[in-house]
Chains A and B, each alone.
Chain A
Amino acid sequence: MRELYAKLNRLFPLGELTERRSNLAFITLTAEYLRPVLLHLRDREGFSHLVLLTAVDWLEEGQFQLSYLLSDRANGRDIGLRLMLPRDGASMESIHDLWPTAATYQRELREMFGIDFPGSPRINEEFILEGWTDIPPYRRDFDTLKFAQENFVARPGRETWDPARHMKDQLYPDGA
């Protein structure tokens, strides 16, 4: 993967490389180079399969990380492209023209994270949720437990134990 990174780095300014396994690496890059890098990887290097497209919310740093994972079946290797976006008004170029199936992923990200992909087909149609008016639920600042308690009626009698204390009481009553 290092040769590939070196080769790519000659063509495009890339960020850091994280090697996870011998056949899986993650590369950080900036938004304007995403499309050329994707095109290069798809057409020149054989990474023709878009495995997934998802986002990670780094709330503390005020950023969304978009992860594009590509796979090269012939050589059995995968490459992940990391892309940082500012959390406010997050918007990214759509890649549905490279992989039609990316439209579905982008629709989900629009709904669950609130990241916009202008031009992606049916991007504003409801995908999973229906009538959702709160914060997009996969954002870190959305508290699912609080939402559930406010919206749904709970049946009384359900108890929750702290696992650590419960284990201590049940298994080691002597305080070992």
Chain B
Amino acid sequence: MAYQPDRSQYPARRPDGLSRHPASRDTSTALCVGSLDIDLASGKYLKLWQGPNHPGITGNMSLELTVCGDEVVEGKTHVGYLHRGFEKLMERRTFIQCFPIVCRICVPEPDFNEYCYAAAVEELAGIQSPERADWIRTLILEMGRINSYLMYLGGQAGAFGLGVIGQWTTYVRDLMLDRFEELSGARIYHMFILPGGVRDGLPDGFEQRMEETLVEIERVMSDVLDVMFRNAVFKKRAVGLGYIDPALIEPYGVTGPPARAAGVAKDVRKDQPYLVYPQLDFEPVTGADSDVYTRADVRRRDLLMSIDLVRQILARMPKEGPLMAKIPNVLHWKIPRGETYIRGECSRGEYGYYLVTDGSGYPRRVNVRGPSYTHAMALMERLIVNCNIADVAGLLVSLHTYPPEIER
């Protein structure tokens, strides 16, 4: 069969004679630097687009695969479908106006954006957030991590056709979203951690309802352990798939669970503790085999550890105290020239904000470092070679990528 493009997808071309800014790049001469010389007309290869309209793709991105038989010989990640230009938009918003839009950068786990942005602003403005606010921030980040992992487990099982896990985990994720809702009033975008502190304290009876939710999550997790992790077919699919050599960890900037599954105990919570993590009792979860199964297992155990951390936080956090530091009038808030980088360990790896100020009331430059940026692009394009078509979705999900943080 000759080359047939997937009809839901269509590559781009630029009509000639369009006026172009000299600095904008001229793609008409773009050369595809591929490792292989692939002659599509030979009938041996097939070009296959997966996504953006594809249930096996994590969100709105696409993979351009060249397959030979059932085997992928080359894969390219295409992103940009969700680009909103956050980094540009924030340059024309005041520091407090940036606060409601940062959480929109990463949808399934928005709280890390709020924390990193708030902490970066506080550091450059020389503000210290109160201790009780730090405890609540840690609580929210750990709750968000549990949410994100629950979403992931459903996706990982679903990528191999085990849909029922997704039903169960989404059910408990909804319970967790209820806790978020009573805390912040919103399910997805909480907008709770603002520069200077947090918006509010815990509502009455929150600890007890939280405990009930955690017990329910643990119960479902033990079911997930039986049905997913001890399932012979799941093991058959996941064990040995998508092996990341530990030597690739540093060159490819791999962080978070993929790195920990390779036996490298990379965890920002331990390496450069922030918020109240130094006072909490935990050890980074690591694995050894560095395949899809180990990554899923590391995340499952990390989830259980987060449940334990939430319990520790609720038991030890101060019940009284201020929630907001004194911040200047937000309408005339100017921050002196400086630059900083704030990082945190989100469920996918190292999440960071690079903030540059120039003494005006607006950020000079904000750069978001999402873990998917390195995982889904360079690493994915390397891992996907020689992978079976059937395993592409499982492999992509196992890197836990969220495209909005790649393109912002």
Given known pairs A56-B364, A132-B24, the reply for A51 and B339 (CB within 8 Å) is no
For B27, list chain A residues within 8 Å (CB). 124-126
A144 x B24 contact (CB < 8 A): no
Question: How far in angstroms is the closest Cβ of chain A from B71?
Answer: 22
Which of the segments B104-112, B291-299, B366-374 contacts the partner chain? B366-374
Question: How far in angstroms is the closest Cβ of chain B from A33?
Answer: 20
A51 x B18 contact (CB < 8 A): no
Mask: chain B, 78-114; 1 = CB below 8 Å from A; 0 = not: 0110010101110110100100000000000000000
Q: Does B365 contact A (CB under 8 A)?
A: yes
B378 x A103 contact (CB < 8 A): yes
For B36, list chain A residues within 8 Å (CB). none
Which of the segments B139-147, B173-181, B214-222, B247-255 contacts the partner chain? B247-255
Q: Does B25 contact A (CB under 8 A)?
A: yes
A51 x B331 contact (CB < 8 A): no
B354 x A67 contact (CB < 8 A): yes
Which of A104, A110, A126, A164 interacts with B12 by CB under 8 Å? A126
Given known pairs A49-B253, A144-B85, the reply for A131 and B12 (CB within 8 Å) is yes
For B33, list chain A residues within 8 Å (CB). 121-122
B365 x A144 contact (CB < 8 A): no
Question: How far in angstroms is the closest Cβ of chain A from B346?
Answer: 14
Q: Does A54 contact B (CB under 8 A)?
A: yes
In the complex, what distance in Å separates the CA atom of A89 from the CA atom of B89? 25
Q: Does B32 contact A (CB under 8 A)?
A: yes
Given known pairs A101-B251, A125-B30, the reply for A133 and B92 (CB within 8 Å) is no
In the complex, what distance in Å separates the CA atom of A138 from the CA atom of B90? 11
Given known pairs A128-B80, A138-B88, the reply for A99 and B251 (CB within 8 Å) is yes
Q: Does B31 contact A (CB under 8 A)?
A: yes
In the complex, what distance in Å separates the CA atom of A124 from the CA atom of B14? 14
Q: Does B341 contact A (CB under 8 A)?
A: yes
A51 x B253 contact (CB < 8 A): yes
Q: Does A92 contact B (CB under 8 A)?
A: no
For B18, list chain A residues within 8 Å (CB). 133
Given known pairs A104-B373, A133-B19, A138-B87, the reply for A124 and B79 (CB within 8 Å) is no
In the complex, what distance in Å separates the CA atom of A99 from the CA atom of B248? 10
Given known pairs A122-B33, A124-B31, A163-B331, the reply for A134 and B87 (CB within 8 Å) is no
In the complex, what distance in Å separates the CA atom of A132 from the CA atom of B18? 10
For B7, list chain A residues within 8 Å (CB). none
B374 x A101 contact (CB < 8 A): yes
In the complex, what distance in Å separates the CA atom of A97 from the CA atom of B407? 23
Given known pairs A78-B341, A104-B373, A137-B85, the reply for A54 and B367 (CB within 8 Å) is yes
Best-surrounded residue of B14, B83, B365 (most CB of chain A within 10 A): B365
Mask: chain A, 141-169; 1 = CB below 8 Å from B; 0 = not: 01011000000000000000001100100
For B356, list chain A residues within 8 Å (CB). 56
Question: How far in angstroms is the closest Cβ of chain B from A114?
Answer: 4
B341 x A80 contact (CB < 8 A): yes
For B373, list chain A residues within 8 Å (CB). 104
Question: How far in angstroms is the closest Cβ of chain B from A113?
Answer: 8
A164 x B367 contact (CB < 8 A): no
B85 x A135 contact (CB < 8 A): no
A129 x B23 contact (CB < 8 A): no
Q: Does A85 contact B (CB under 8 A)?
A: no
B331 x A164 contact (CB < 8 A): yes
Given known pairs A20-B338, A76-B272, A104-B374, the reply for A133 and B253 (CB within 8 Å) is no
Q: Does A23 contact B (CB under 8 A)?
A: yes
A127 x B79 contact (CB < 8 A): yes
In the complex, what distance in Å separates the CA atom of A127 from the CA atom of B266? 29
The residues in A between 14 and 37 inclusive whose CB is less than 8 angstroms from any CB of B are: 18, 20-21, 23-24, 26
Q: Which residue of the partner chain B has the closest CB to A126?
A: B27
In the complex, what distance in Å separates the CA atom of A53 from the CA atom of B12? 27
In the complex, what distance in Å separates the CA atom of A150 from the CA atom of B182? 42
Q: Does A73 contact B (CB under 8 A)?
A: yes
Given known pairs A20-B338, A101-B374, the reply for A51 and B24 (CB within 8 Å) is no
A144 x B377 contact (CB < 8 A): no
For B88, list chain A residues within 8 Å (CB). 137-138, 142, 144
Q: Does A48 contact B (CB under 8 A)?
A: yes
A57 x B80 contact (CB < 8 A): no
Known: A101-B252, A114-B24. 4 other contacts (CB 8 A): A99-B253, A110-B25, A126-B80, A129-B83
Chain A to chain B: the 7 pairs with minimum beta-carbon distance, closest first = A114-B23, A128-B80, A54-B367, A48-B250, A124-B30, A101-B378, A56-B365
Chain A positions within 8 Å of B, measured between CB atoms, are 18, 20-21, 23-24, 26, 48-52, 54-57, 67, 69, 73, 76, 78, 80, 99-101, 103-104, 110-111, 114, 121-122, 124-140, 142, 144-145, 163-164, 167
| A/B interface sample: 5 pairs, CB < 8 A | A51-B341, A126-B12, A133-B20, A137-B85, A137-B88
